[in-house]
Amino acid sequence: MRHKVRNWIERNTRLAWLGLAILVLMFVALLWNEWQSEKRASMKEVEWMPLVPLDFGLTQPIPRDIILDKGKVALGKSLFHDARLSSDDSVSCASCHDLSGGGVDNRARSLGVNGGVGGINAPTVLNSGFNFVQFWDGRAPTLEAQVDGPVNHPLEMASNWGQVLGKLMQDEDYRVRFLSAYPDGITSSNVKDALATFERSLVTPDSPFDRYLRGDKTALDAPALRGWQLFQSYGCVSCHQGSNLGGNFYERMGLMGDYFGDRGNHTEADNGRYNVTHDEADRHYFRVPSLRNVALTYPYFHDGSIDNLNDAVRTMAKYQLGRAMPDDDVEAIVAFLVSLTGRSVAEQQP
Ligand code: HEC
Ligand code: HEC
């Protein structure tokens, strides 16, 4: 056998050398590839991004026609703007949730009665009816239940139901309107119901993104369209999804990095859902916020620590996805986020 091989090699020396050379080349190529892919893995910036039109179907447009009792909506609107819900008649819901803007106060921390400073950033009331629970930590299961929060909170309206109902009952106009909407007139649960009904009317349909989802392929310009594709391919949509692009479940802030360690100055609000459940597994979990009208709802995050969208996107990429995002991807995603600004409430309910 060995004899035969040696004979073959002697007869085909050139072919044998060629074979050997090919083997060596293949080995070198293999090593090179290994080395390159290690280098790629250690590189911070991710260069590949598919630019095919993606649509994972995880988001839906804001519904256009929500049927609500008009009398209750109007009553809720009056209550929402009524400072008598606060102890010294100085603060209304609208003081912290400005409906002519993004439904927020654009402050890192809200100012309540007597200039009391709250512990957490005010989220928007716009489209809040689509969120699965209310508050950053989800401690209120419904919009109705949420109202107890601000009315009684010492740093917000610093009042109580006895005081509020007493003031509302002195108002002839309220007495009539409540009786026509509710057989039992002015009660705390009817005040909550009217406010919640009004809040359910605070929807902002027909943003460029909604028009795109409904089939108008020209509604997003090129940067916003690229941003939408990156929003999906980076995986933002795995948390920010549904008709509100958020508001469907809890997630941990700092999934891929120590956000709180890096930021410093730990506050009680940073505990998130843990404050409700006292389960260690829930520490730093927050209801994923909606990104609807996000261009108007600065500053960002539960701590209001970031005042512009570019940095908010970079922070998300770093701490939720473990990636450093190139500037042009950040810009594109911001263009997409700006396309989430819908028809304003002021325009719809003059
Ligand atoms: C002093 C400022 C202030 C006032 C007044 C105020 N809010 Fe808020 N609102 C906040 C803050 C801050 C939060 C977030 C609190 C939290 O998550 O712990 C919030 C949260 C909410 C939420 C939850 C939104 C979400 O996405 O989770 C709703 C709804 C809401 N407020 C409605 C109201 C209504 C109705 C009133 C009047 C009865 C009111 N607010 C009065 C500051 C205020
Ligand atoms: C693992 C889940 C998760 C992923 C992935 C994720 N986010 Fe978030 N996002 C959150 C949570 C949770 C918060 C609230 C964090 C906080 O307030 O501390 C948030 C907050 C935000 C905010 C601030 C909203 C506000 O009103 O304060 C923006 C903007 C945002 N995300 C955009 C993005 C973008 C863009 C991506 C992709 C690059 C992304 N997110 C990926 C969970 C996620």
- For the Cβ of 255 lying below 6 angstroms from any atom of ligand 2, the answer is yes
Max alpha carbon distance in the chain (Å)? Answer: 116
* pLDDT for residue 126: 98
Q: What is the pLDDT of residues 185-211, one digit of tens each?
A: 999 999 999 999 999 999 999 999 999
What's the Cα-to-Cα distance from 54 to each of 31, 208, 214, rounded to whole Å? 35, 17, 15
Indicate which ligand has the atom closest to the C-alpha of 145: 1
Q: Give the pLDDT band of residue 6 (cuts 50, 70, 90).
A: confident
In the predicted structure, residue 52 carries a pLDDT above the cut 70: no
Q: What is the rounded distance in angstroms from the CA atom of residue 157 to the CA atom of residue 16?
A: 90
Fold category of 70-200 in CATH: Cytochrome Bc1 Complex; Chain D, domain 2 (1.10.760)
Question: What's the start-to-end Cα distance of the chain, in Å?
Answer: 97
* pLDDT for residue 158: 96
Nearest CA to ligand 1 atom 33: 93
* pLDDT for residue 45: 45
- For the Cβ of 130 lying below 6 angstroms from any atom of ligand 2, the answer is no
* Residue of 285, 316, 339 to mutate, ligand 2, most atoms within 8 A of C-beta: 316
The domain spans of the chain are 2-42, 70-200, 208-348
Q: Give the pLDDT band of residue 230 (cuts 50, 70, 90).
A: very high
Residue 103 CA, ligand 1 centroid: distance in Å: 10
* pLDDT for residue 9: 76
Indicate which ligand has the atom closest to the C-alpha of 124: 1
Residue 289 CA, ligand 2 centroid: distance in Å: 7
What number of other Cβ atoms are within 10 A of residue 59's Cβ?
21
- For the Cβ of 240 lying below 6 angstroms from any atom of ligand 2, the answer is yes
Closest Cα to residue 131, out of 82, 68, 196, 80?
Answer: 196
Q: What is the pLDDT of residues 55-111, one digit of tens each?
A: 778 999 999 989 999 999 999 999 999 999 999 999 999 999 999 999 999 999 999
* pLDDT for residue 47: 43
- For the Cβ of 288 lying below 6 angstroms from any atom of ligand 2, the answer is yes
Q: What is the pLDDT of residues 60-72, one digit of tens each?
A: 999 998 999 999 9
Closest Cα to residue 68, out of 270, 203, 170, 224?
Answer: 203
Greater confidence (102 vs 39) lies with 102
Query: Contact at 8 Å (CB) between 231 and 338?
Result: no
CB within 8 Å of 319: residues ≥ 6 apart? 253, 254, 255, 256, 257, 259
Greater confidence (37 vs 214) lies with 214
Q: Give the pLDDT band of residue 50 (cuts 50, 70, 90).
A: very low
What integer best gives the mean pLDDT of the chain? 93
What is the pLDDT averaged over residues 264-278? 97
CB within 8 Å of 250: residues ≥ 6 apart? 138, 272, 273, 282, 285, 286, 287, 288
With pLDDT > 90 as the criterion, what percentage of the chain qualifies?
A: 83
Residue 346 CA, ligand 1 centroid: distance in Å: 19
Question: Given its phi and psi angles, is residue 186 left (phi above 0), alpha (psi -120 to 50 degrees) or beta?
Answer: beta
In the predicted structure, residue 165 carries a pLDDT above the cut 50: yes
Return the CATH number of the domain spanning residue range 208-348.
Answer: 1.10.760.10
Indicate which ligand has the atom closest to the C-alpha of 137: 1
Q: What is the pLDDT of residues 109-161, one digit of tens each?
A: 999 999 999 999 999 999 999 999 999 999 999 999 999 999 999 999 999 99
